[in-house]
Amino acid sequence: MISVSEALDHVFSLVAPLPSETVALRDALGRVLAAPLTARLTQPPFPSAAMDGYAIAARTAAPGATYRVIGESAAGHGFWEFVGAGDGVRIFTGAPLPDGTDRVIIQEDVTRDGDRITLGDRLDTGDHVRAAGQDFRQGDAFQPRGPLRPIDLALIAAMGHGEVSVTRRPEVAIIATGDELVAPGETPGPDQIVASNNLGLAAMIDRAGGRARLLPIARDTTASLDTAFDLARGADMVVTIGGASVGDHDLVAQVAEGRGMEQSFYKVAMRPGKPLMAGRLDGAPMLGLPGNPVSALVCGQVFVLPALRVLMGLPAAPAPRQTVPLGTDLPANGPREHYMRASLQDGRAHVADRQDSALLSVLAGADALVIRPPDDPPRGAGDTVEVIAL
């Protein structure tokens, strides 16, 4: 059995960023820029007022100074004449500063009488002017570190782009396998259960920026698995769930190999998730996850999402981890890296009592996975551990 980090390296060697496509900025949320963007515009494009008041020449400003108001500059309606030393212009926030002016006196510090204004006694020192290009200049590069966030989209729009080149959204085919499974909403027979982790995995993929192709449940027969693999063709990654272990009905690896799958590993020293398999099938990376609900969803966090991020154009990196103190004592760990379901309360990780990989209710009650390295000695409350936030 290989370690989790060796397995992840193998998975990363199966995936590469997808080609790019151009999309409207409105559709670019969560996508990854294919290349750094360059600002087409300068912001602000002109020196502009940061406050409502009167624009004057700064060198003339003094308590009691008077000016003739010769016009108005509002946002979207500039005043384009030169303003001489004894003159001022009524100005509003966002409006261009007229030529000849370089300071805004806020209206609270001004007394107006007809077209005359007089400055008050206590002027602040601020010029209340936003310099041209103080936010960004034409030609400035912008390369966000992760998928585009709403605030990134706002900046890209301001930079003058209506569309962007992003990595194509990865499509991930998901095949749940098992004669015992029925679709959500169906009534299970006496020896059946509802297929759940495939739905959870699809949602995980969609939320992370991929598009899950959730295929019909495959039965534990070669013919049914073959049909499922046919339906998975063209996907950017294929993920199977279940049928990964050593039982007589665990046929996934056998059928995939019959179709030419090149296996890169089978079995990882992790808990849950031991019978994980990876390889390349029909030119696409394939991950075979164990069927136990928690095993499949933990493998989703630890392997599927990091692989998806590479397809999306992000760097190859394990699931992000944080270090937090334990809220509970833990016995020594066994030889497999253990991903324990825990809840974060008061900044501490409280590990659930029951860690059976079939317990979806425990997983859904958790908001973190505490990572125990192989053969980790006993740990006490207050010791720090690494966690993956769910």
Using only the alpha carbons of the chain, give its radius of gyration.
31
Q: Which positions from 339 through 358 interact with ligand MOO, judged by CB under 6 A?
A: 357
Residue nearest ligand MOO, CB atom distance: 357
> For 30, left (φ over 0), alpha (ψ -120 to 50), or beta?
left
Tell me which stretch binds ligand LQZAQKY5 (CB under 6 A): 4-12, 58-66, 128-136, 292-300: 292-300
C-alpha distances (whole Å) from 57 to each of 100, 103, 107, 354, 377 are 6, 6, 16, 74, 73
Cβ–Cβ < 8 Å for 274, 290: yes
Helix 4-14 vs helix 305-312: crossing angle, to nearest 10: 30
The answer to whether residue 285 forms part of the interface with ligand LQZAQKY5 (CB under 6 A) is no
User: Quick one: DSSP state of residue 109?
Assistant: G
The answer to whether residue 271 forms part of the interface with ligand MOO (CB under 6 A) is yes
Q: Which residues touch 89 (CB under 8 Å, ≥6 apart)?
A: 54, 55, 56, 69, 70, 71, 72, 73, 79, 83, 98, 101
The answer to whether residue 263 forms part of the interface with ligand LQZAQKY5 (CB under 6 A) is no
Tell me which stretch binds ligand MOO (CB under 6 A): 23-31, 52-60, 269-277, 373-381: 269-277
C-alpha distances (whole Å) from 154 to each of 29, 41, 46, 47, 93 are 11, 14, 20, 21, 20
Query: Which among ligand LQZAQKY5, ligand MOO, none contacts residue 195 (Cβ within 5 to 8 A by kind)?
Result: ligand LQZAQKY5
Neighbour count for residue 40 (Cβ, 10 Å):
10
Neighbour count for residue 121 (Cβ, 10 Å):
7
x/- site string to ligand MOO, residues 149 to 188, per CB under 6 A? ----------------------------------------
Tell me which stretch binds ligand MOO (CB under 6 A): 69-77, 128-136, 195-203, 290-298: 290-298
Task: Spell out where 168-251 has E strands.
Answer: 171-176, 181-182, 193-194, 211-214, 237-241
* Residue 371 CB, nearest approach to ligand MOO (Å): 15
* Residue 291 CB, nearest approach to ligand MOO (Å): 9
Q: Which is nearer to ligand MOO, 229 or 339 (CB)?
A: 339
The answer to whether residue 294 forms part of the interface with ligand LQZAQKY5 (CB under 6 A) is no
* Residue 276 CB, nearest approach to ligand LQZAQKY5 (Å): 9
Tell me which stretch binds ligand MOO (CB under 6 A): 15-23, 196-204, 234-242, 289-297: 289-297
User: At 271, which amino acid appears?
Assistant: R
Q: Which is nearer to ligand LQZAQKY5, 42 or 295 (CB)?
A: 295
- Tell me the two tokens of residue 148: 């585009």
Using CB under 6 A, pick the residue from 147, 178, 290, 313 that binds ligand MOO: 290
The answer to whether residue 213 forms part of the interface with ligand MOO (CB under 6 A) is no
The answer to whether residue 273 forms part of the interface with ligand MOO (CB under 6 A) is yes
C-alpha distances (whole Å) from 139 to each of 35, 40, 41, 97, 133 are 14, 6, 8, 24, 11
* Residue 303 CB, nearest approach to ligand MOO (Å): 12
* Residue 269 CB, nearest approach to ligand LQZAQKY5 (Å): 11
Q: What stretch of H or E contains 153?
A: helix 150-158
Catalog residues that contact ligand MOO under the rule CB under 6 A.
Answer: 271-274, 290, 292, 295, 357
